[in-house]
Amino acid sequence: MAGRAKDIDPASELVEEDDEQALPEGEELELGIEQEGGTLAAGRAALVRYAKHAPSAPGVYRMLDAEGEVLYVGKAKSIKKRITSYTRATGHDTRIERVIALTATVEFVTTATETEALLLEANLIKRLRPRFNVLLRDDKSFPYILITGDHWAPQILKHRGARSRKGSYFGPFASVWAVNRTITALQRAFLLRSCSDGFFESRTRPCLLHQIKRCSAPCTQEIDFAGYAELVREANGFLSGKSQAVRDELSAEMEHASAELDFERAAIYRDRLSALSATQTTQGINPRSTEEADVFAIHQEGCFSGIEVFFFRTGQNWGNRAYFPRADRTLEPGEVLGAFLAQFYDDKPCPSVILLSHDIPECHLLAEALSVKSGRKVEITVPQRGEKKELVAHALVNAREALGRKLADTSSQQKLLKGLAHAFDLPRVPKRIEVYDNSHIQGSNAVGAMIVAGPEGFRKNQYRKFNIRSAELTPGDDFGMMREMLERRFKRLMAEAPRAETEAATAMLGVVPADSDDLESDSPWPDLVLIDGGQGQLNAAREALAALGVTGVPMIGVAKGPDRDAGNETFYLTGKPAVKLPPRDPLLYFIQRLRDEAHRFAIGSHRTRRKKDIREAGLQEIPGIGPTRKRALLHHFGTLKAIERASLNDLARVPGINDETARKIHDFFHETASR
């Protein structure tokens, strides 16, 4: 059965289902009106209506406001009992009362079991991002190590995303840095290739990696098929948890070679053993008896929560990452941690053991849900002694330190935002700043970019790029590009989140908590727009917004000095004289950082589009390069990426490529994108 609703966090449930009993409808409505003066009573009245038709089966419910926005998502063993519990006049904290007051409709989805309801709830919370649930932020996918299985000479590489390629995947790793470090050490230990298949097939002599003893060069048969297959077997065994067995094998081979006086071969095994030791000793804390586990520790301070996650696989520390979920300040650490875990493993494989710093509600239910999802038993525990307790304590120290750094950064950011409002006489301290820039080369592959910043720093999940597509623009017309970008951005914003409705919603009684200054702004409308450019760019942006009827959005143009030197910027404001800040003003550095981030994002987007066009059009785009020279370049370097990275001297060595043509090729790939 379906009604309307929003995802509710299991850790946020405040009423035990066994205690939920409905009050008589008339009495409940009367109490609501007397106590809340109408608003809370109206929400309860809506809940009473939906409770009559709610199913008694387990499932998920979503509570929505009058505009259809999901406020809260929750799961229950009996949806009817849970919805009925919200109709009580007392027993709710301020957060739940705000949800009730705003609720206009409720939606239901029944499931076969409460375990399925928990998994569905976590998925809906991540997808719908309800305002009153605990929200997992910065949820980027984790990188893995992949040893491919679709080539006779398997390749070791970093992988992120869907596991569509045949091979063995190992992870997760906490960061790309951790993956790169491990791959480098594994290359030294097992001499597996990391080059692409195209590059591999085109080689006629070993590359530099073979010379520095990081590849066995199967491309030129420096090692035979059987020998390389043995290296792959050892690497898979090491990453699968058989590290000690692999070390014992290598040690035995080294002793055997030494006994036969084959000291050169013994030295190779010695170097590989040394590389394996480096792999394990450079990873910080490594457990002695814990082969596979994820460790979660939470620390709360003020209205913030910091969660540190450590990944241990094959008895090795594969890195750690800090998270700062958005949660109501009234929630206890265990409640936040329980809600976080359900969302964290929604799209990630989980280990056999999960170690926690705090007890969480419905721990057994979550363990059962993860076991069903992963197809093996998953244990969730709060260790009390021994090595596992030490791992959790170590994670807790890191959580405390990470949250301390986050609070310090947030405090500094708040001071800068207040300084920005004061320096430019803004109507309020900005919580959402949008910065716009564009990038192109003589009008080709033009891309506009928007970055977003706020009290918590850069919000990279809200960055947007705009492929400039107007056929009426003159190539290189920066003003026209800026107009198109602003028109598209604000036209969509007006359609998806009308400004009047957004402001009215945030002004409603009880929606904005007293400590809202400490929280991420939910409004998609910017409090300040920064334009990378001078008076002309600012005028173009202002005209674009005026044509759409958008007013009241402060805009500032950031122009560099005559020599385009950082530190000599001039700031152009609408209807006010231009402003310059002192050379060493922290506010100036802050604005420079915002502008440079927008420029970085614009340049990166432009280069990605340009490379795609080059791949599609071929190397013939370069003056002087025809089919014959294209074949010669690809035969020599193997891939377009290798050609792009080649130096002038390397390009000039290709048969049929003279110095002048080499210069053209090099300049084509390395020319700095104009703005």
Give me 427's structure tokens. 């109507």
Q: What is the pLDDT of residue 561?
A: 67
Q: What pLDDT does 330 receive?
A: 82
State mean pLDDT over 287-300. 83
- Local structure of residue 453 (DSSP, 8 states): E
Instruction: Specify whether the CB–CB gap between 75 and 125 falls below 8 A.
Output: no
Instruction: Read off the amino acid at residue 316.
Output: Q
Each residue of 384-394: b (16+ CB within 10 Å) or e? eeeebeebbeb
Note the pLDDT tens digit of each residue in 366-384.
999 999 888 889 999 999 9
Q: For 508, list phi and psi in degrees, rounded to 5.
A: -65, 150
Cα angle 87, 89, 95 (rounded to 5 degrees) comes to 80
Residue 506: pLDDT above 50? no
Q: Which CATH superfamily is domain 293-403 in?
A: Ribonuclease H-like superfamily/Ribonuclease H (3.30.420.10)
Binned at pLDDT 50, 70 and 90, residue 276 comes out as low
Establish whether domains 10-128 and 619-670 are of one fold: no
Give this prediction's pTM. 0.62
> How far is it, in rounded angstroms, from Cα 289 to Cα 283?
16
Cα–Cα distance measured from residue 83 to residue 61, given in angstroms and rounded to the nearest whole number? 8
Per the DSSP assignment, residues forming a β-bridge with 559 are 570
Q: What is the mean pLDDT of residues 549-564?
A: 81
CA distances from 608 to 62, 367, 467, 596, 647 (A): 40, 43, 11, 18, 21
Could you please state the CATH topology (level 3) that the domain comprising 619-670 is classified under: DNA polymerase; domain 1 (1.10.150)
Six token digits for residue 413: 């950011």
Distance CA 518, CA 523 (A): 15
* pLDDT higher than 50, residue 494: yes
Per-residue pLDDT of 632-641, as tens digits, reads: 887 777 667 7
Give the residue among 257, 183, 258, 191 at the shortest CA–CA distance from 222: 191
Look at residue 560 and give its three-state secondary structure: coil
Q: Which residue has the higher pLDDT, 157 or 568?
A: 157
- Token pair for 673: 């994108």
Where does the pLDDT of residue 509 fall: very low under 50, low under 70, confident under 90, or very high at 90 and above? very low
pLDDT tens digits along 11-23 = 333 333 333 333 3
pLDDT of residue 111 exceeding 80, the answer is yes
Query: Tokens 């120290």 label which residue?
Result: 397
Question: Does pLDDT of 435 surpass 90?
Answer: yes
**What is the reported pLDDT for 406?**
82
Give the separation between CA 580 and CA 598, rounded to whole angstroms: 21
Q: Given this model, what pLDDT does residue 672 score? A: 40
Mean pLDDT of 318-342: 88
pLDDT tens-digit map of 4-59? 333 334 333 333 333 333 333 333 333 333 333 337 888 888 999 998 889 999 99
Average pLDDT over residues 503-531: 58
pLDDT bin (cut points 50, 70, 90) of residue 245 is low
208 residue type, one letter: L
In sequence order, the 6+-apart residues with CB closer than 8 A to the CB of 83 are: 47, 50, 51, 54, 61, 106
One DSSP character per residue, 41-89 reads HHHHHHHHHHHHH--SSSEEEEEE-TTS-EEEEEEESSHHHHHHHTT-S
pLDDT band of residue 337 (cuts 50, 70, 90) is very high
Calculate the average pLDDT of the chain.
Answer: 79
Section 274-302 average pLDDT: 70
Question: 337, exposed or middle or buried, with CB in 10 Å at 0-12, 13-18, 19+?
Answer: buried
Decide which of 438 and 358 is more confident. Answer: 358
Sorted by where each begins, the domain ranges of the chain are: 10-128, 144-281, 293-403, 433-605, 619-670
How many alpha carbons lie under 13 Å from residue 152 in its C-beta half-sphere?
A: 10
pLDDT of residue 613: 65
> What's the burial of 472, exposed, middle or buried (CB within 10 Å: 0-12/13-18/19+)?
exposed
295 near 391, Cβ under 8 Å? Answer: yes
The DSSP bridge partners found for residue 110 are 59
Which pLDDT score is estimated for 280?
52
Do 597 and 458 touch, CB atoms closer than 8 A? Answer: yes
Question: Average pLDDT, stretch 273-302?
Answer: 70
pLDDT of residue 182: 79
10-128 CATH choice from 2.30.40.10, 3.40.50.300, 3.40.1440.10, 3.30.2350.10: 3.40.1440.10
pLDDT at 614: 60
Q: What is the pLDDT of residue 16?
A: 32
Q: Please compute, for residue 509, the number of CA atoms within 13 A of its CA located in the half-sphere on the CB side.
A: 8
Dist CA 598 CA 530 (whole Å): 10
Q: Is the dihedral of CA 296, 299, 300, 306 positive or negative?
A: negative
The amino acid occupying position 423 is A
Residue indicated by tokens 């050169």? 264
Mean pLDDT for the stretch of residues 600-617: 72
Q: What is the pLDDT of residues 399-415, one digit of tens each?
A: 988 888 888 777 788 88
Q: What is the pLDDT of residue 285?
A: 54
**658 contacts 672 by C-beta, under 8 angstroms:** no
Determine which helix (DSSP H) or strand (DSSP E) holds 450, and give its type and residue range.
strand 444-454
**pLDDT score at 516:** 42
Overall average pLDDT of the 454-473 stretch: 82
For residues 567 and 581, the answer to whether their CB atoms sit within 8 Å is no
pLDDT number for residue 266: 77
pLDDT band per the 50, 70, 90 thresholds, residue 243:
low
Name the class of domain 433-605.
alpha beta
Q: Would you say 441 and 674 are in contact if contact means Cβ atoms under 8 Å apart?
A: yes
Give the confidence band of 517 by pLDDT, cuts at 50, 70, 90. Answer: very low
- Would you tell me the crossing angle of helices 386-423 and 586-617 to the nearest 10 degrees? 110
Instruction: Look up residue 468 and give its amino acid.
Output: I
> What pLDDT does residue 671 have?
58
465 vs 440, higher pLDDT: 465
Give the end-to-end CA distance of the chain in Å, rounded to a whole number: 55
